[in-house]
Amino acid sequence: QYLAVQISPDHVMSFGGSTDPCAMCFLYSIGKTGEQDNEVCSKLLCGLLNKQLKMPSDRIYSSFFAISPGNAGWNNSTFA
């Protein structure tokens, strides 16, 4: 219910000096970040992008952000 995905296909991107297809993923999470959780999410994201878009995992960069419930809003309120 609380998952949102944004795909911006028309951006010009360069990754490692190449403009071959690549992705930058930003995952914001309330209370579910840490080295182990991030490792699992990285594998899931890379696997999904590889399967659906044929994008090699070494062309995918992921960043993980922990946010507090009061700093995330939905439906006229926050998650605090």
Say yes or no to pLDDT of 1 above 80. no
User: Strand ranges (DSSP E) for the chain?
Assistant: 23-29, 60-66, 73-74, 77-78
Pull the structure tokens for residue 3: 């998952």
Full domain range(s) for residue 38: 23-73
- CA pair distance 17, 67, nearest whole angstrom: 32
Pull the structure tokens for residue 19: 């403009």
pLDDT tens-digit readout, 47-62:
999 999 999 999 999 9
Residue 36 exposure: Cα atoms within 13 Å on the Cβ side? 1
Residue 31 lies in a domain: yes
Count of domains forming the chain? 1
Residue 12 lies in a domain: no
- CA pair distance 15, 64, nearest whole angstrom: 19
- pTM (2 d.p.): 0.82
pLDDT tens-digit readout, 10-68:
889 999 999 999 999 999 999 888 999 999 999 999 999 999 999 999 999 999 999 99
Q: What is the CATH number of the domain that holds 67?
A: 3.30.429.10
